[in-house]
Amino acid sequence: MPVTYEPVIGLEIHAQLLTKTKLFCSCAAEVGAEPNQNVCPVCLALPGALPVLNAEALRLAVRAALALGLTIAPESVFARKNYFYPDLPKGYQISQFDRPYSSSGHLEYELSGEVKRAGITRIHMEEDAGKNVHGVGNDSAVDLNRAGTPLIEIVGEPDLRSSAEAVAYMKALREILVATGVNDGNLEEGSFRCDANVSVRPKGETKFGTRVELKNINSFRFVQKAIDVEIARQIALLEDGLAVVQETRGYDAEGNRTYSLRSKEEAHDYRYFPDPDLPPVTIPSELIEAERTRLPELPRATRKRWIEEGIAESAAQTLTQHPGLVRFVEDARKHAPQLGLKKIANFVQTEILRGAVFHGLEARFSVTPAQTASLLSLVEKGTISGKQAKEVFALLENTDKDPAQIVEEQGLSVVSDGGALEALLKDLIVKNPKQAQGLRDGKKQLAGFFVGQVMKETSGKADPKLVSELLEKLIAEV
């Protein structure tokens, strides 16, 4: 009987902390600067330069741990992780080893409507390395702008059983870090990246198989493809009677294959030891409580609340993808609580999202929440129709005008003169006897014909609700 294998997956996520400066010096932690501009004796590892921990980085790291339910250690230690690589100027990376600042948490995520839960072993702080730049003439060069950038590494338990679960876990983690202002979630720029530990074992077996680490995958799509390819490779080896070798592998997106980077035998002995230049990190309870109060409502909780208030699940999912969107919707509601959340959310999704621009935690909209609330209030009062609201919105974008001002300037108010609309409908009924008789005979869809004709005659200014009511009365009278 053929053996059925199941994958066992654990993710290690590296997330850059959103500080203005690096982890142990005052150099700018920014993307896009000219090579080797944001460097100093500390991040260049010049003799005598001493590191000093960035207090803001510690605060953000604590906030991330609290959001994910980890236990904060009152004292933790930075260690030196020793290895040689051209983009590591010190010859070691400052990280945390046996005494991280937080441990034992979990992440709940959703997949196909089911809520799943995966453990988090620990989160520790560390500095990033620089970047090797190839193809500089005929040479390779090193850009050390990223060296010393503050990171947290979120080490997940091997609780994931498919590539789809891995992607769902990664997306849920990213949205929490973005919502809490810890990380900008930018995979392309490398501020949120993933290593995946993958093994397979016969279904029902409790012992883990041989683990392979897939390094530095920077998109959700590639995470899923790399894991699937690696699972297939390991199963094929086992079915051929061969052993899986413990190693580190990369992912070639063009060839959709994984390839060996470093085998176990060649793996570094990192020779961790406490960094003598950095004292133990003490995290006061006051700091922990201050960061706990800064935690916003997390995206899953917002979605649940909005769905309970009548928003469609798909709309709630879309509108909670960015904290700027959540703020926009809630701010608009504060300006016009009488509208209800559903009307605001629908308008934001159908109209405002099309012109929105997002970059990291920044969100730019073509109108303000106050303008949106004013515009939708005009619809609610019957001053303009839903169709006219779209016209007003187009004229409102990127201006500081009030919607009522635009309605007055453009003469866009709704025609709600019952007498004039009734006369127009009577004329249409006379001119379209076949459609009128069909409506009397119960063909209700023909009501749309008459309403449409009225809207056409009034250039879209008629109140469609009033037109429908008058039509129903006139049809019944004949």
- Three-state DSSP at 304 gives helix
Q: How far is CA 269 from CA 14, 241, 368, in A?
A: 21, 31, 55
Q: Would you say 382 and 416 are in contact if contact means Cβ atoms under 8 Å apart?
A: yes
Confidence check: pLDDT of 478 > 70: no
Residue 75, Cβ density class (10 Å: 0-12 exposed, 13-18 middle, ≥19 buried): exposed
Residue pLDDT, tens place only, 200-243:
999 999 999 999 999 988 899 999 999 999 999 999 999 999 99
Is the dihedral angle over the CA atoms 135, 141, 145, 150 positive or is it negative?
Answer: positive
Predicted local distance difference test score (pLDDT) of residue 464:
74
DSSP 8-state class, residue 163: H
Q: Would you say 323 and 296 are in contact if contact means Cβ atoms under 8 Å apart?
A: yes
CB atoms within 10 A of CB 51: 20
Q: Please name the amino acid found at residue 249.
A: R
Confidence check: pLDDT of 325 > 80: yes
- Domains present along the chain, CATH in parentheses: 5-289 (no CATH), 297-410 (no CATH), 418-477 (1.10.10.410)
- Three-state DSSP at 361 gives coil
Count of CA atoms in the C-beta half-sphere (13 A) of 154? 33
CB atoms within 10 A of CB 102: 26
pLDDT confidence bin for 264, thresholds 50/70/90: low
Predicted local distance difference test score (pLDDT) of residue 448:
81
pLDDT confidence bin for 458, thresholds 50/70/90: confident
Confidence check: pLDDT of 463 > 80: no
Tokens matching residue 49:
């330069």
Q: What value does the mean pLDDT of the chain take?
A: 91
